[in-house]
Amino acid sequence: MKAFALLATLATAVVLLYGTRDFAPWGDPASPASTHVSPVYIERAVEETHVPNLVTAILGDYRGYDTMFETVVIYCAGLAVVSVLRRRKS
Amino acid sequence: MKILHELARHKTGGDNLIIQTAVRLLVPFIQLFGLYVIVHGHYSPGGGFQGGVVLGASFILLALAFDLRTSLRFMSEGANAILGNAGALIYIGIGVLCALVGGLFLDYGALDRLIPLGPVEWRSFGIFLVEVGVGIAVMSIMASLYWDIGSGGEMDEGL
C-alpha cells in the first residue's frame, strides 16, 4: 500500500512538472499576465478601490475568491487538528 | 498584566525569571503590533494573515514562557473556537451579503445600497472588513494548533 502511495505521488509530480513546460518564462514581458493583466491592475487599482497598497487591493478585492479559500484552508487545518487530537480528561 | 505579574512573582527558578519578565513586557507590544499590521494593511505591507499570525504568536509565546494554562487564561478554549468560526464566517458572510443586496459574490461595491458611502469607498472598506475576519480566524487557529500539538490534545501543561 505504501509503495502504491509513493508511486501515485511520483506519477502526479511527473504530470505536474510536465505541465510547467507550457508556462511562460519567469518575468517574460510577452506573457499574457504581463501584457494585459498586470498593467490593468497597476493603472486602475488605486482609482477603483482607493487602496494605495496594490498587493492588498489585488488580494482582497480582485482576487477575493482566492483569499476566501486560503482562509478556508487554514480553517480546515485547525479543524482537522482539533478533531483528531483534542480530548477531554474525565 | 496583573495575572502575569503575580505568576512571575510566585514562580521559582533562575533563567525562567529573565524569560518570563521579558515575555511579560513584550506581549502587549506584540499584540498592539499585530493589530497595527491588520489595520494598516491598506497602506503598508501586512494584512489579515500576517497580523493574525503575530497575534497568535503572542499567545504561543505566553504558553512557551509560562505554561499552557496561563495562555488559556487569556483566551479560553470556547472563546478560541468562537473566534475561529466567526473569522471565517465574517469573510463568507460579507461575500454572501454582497450577493444578497444585488451585486456579485464578494463585489463590495454593491454594499453601497445598504449604507451609501460610495461604491469606491465601499470597496476599500470591504477589503478592511474581510482582512479583520482573516486576522481573527488566523489568530485563533494558530493558537489552537499550538495548544493541541504542544499538549497532545490534552490542553493541560504543554511543552
Does the distance separating the beta carbons of B42 and A71 come in below 8 Å? no
**What is the per-residue pLDDT for A34?**
86
Distance, in Å, from the CA atom of B33 to the CA atom of B31, rounded to the nearest integer, reads 5
pLDDT tens track, chain B, 159 positions: 677 667 666 654 445 888 889 999 999 999 999 999 999 999 999 889 999 999 999 999 998 888 888 888 899 989 999 999 999 999 999 999 999 998 899 889 899 989 898 889 999 999 999 999 999 999 999 999 999 998 888 887 766
Q: Is B45 an interface residue toward A (CB < 8 Å)?
A: yes
Q: Would A51 be classed as within a structural domain?
A: yes
Could you tell me the pTM of the whole model?
Answer: 0.84
Place of cell 482539533: A82
Distance, in Å, from the CA atom of B77 to the CA atom of B94, rounded to the nearest integer, reads 26
CB B67 within 8 A of CB B157: yes
Q: Is A76 an interface residue toward B (CB < 8 Å)?
A: no
Q: Is B41 an interface residue toward A (CB < 8 Å)?
A: yes
Output the CA torsion sign for B89, B95, B96, B101.
Answer: positive
Q: Would A20 be classed as within a structural domain?
A: no
- Number of compact structural domains in chain A: 1
**What is the per-residue pLDDT for B137?**
95
CB B127 within 8 A of CB A57: yes
Annotate A4-37 with DSSP letters as a single string. HHHHHHHHHHHHHHHHHTTSPPTT-TTSHIIIII
Q: What is the pLDDT of residues A53-64, one digit of tens each?
A: 999 999 999 999
Range of the domain at A59: 29-90
CB B41 within 8 A of CB B47: yes
Query: Which amino acid does the sequence have at B43?
Result: Y
**What is the per-residue pLDDT for B13?**
44
Q: What is the ipTM of this complex?
A: 0.84
The minimum CA-CA distance between B90 and chain A, rounded to whole Å, is 10
**What is the per-residue pLDDT for B152?**
85
**What is the per-residue pLDDT for B145?**
93
**What is the per-residue pLDDT for B90?**
95
Q: Would A64 be classed as within a structural domain?
A: yes
Q: What is the pLDDT of residues A19-49, one digit of tens each?
A: 998 888 888 888 888 888 889 999 999 999 8
Q: Please report, for chain B, the start and end positions of each structural domain, with discontinuous segments joined by +.
A: 2-151
Distance, in Å, from the CA atom of A35 to the CA atom of B48, rounded to the nearest integer, reads 30
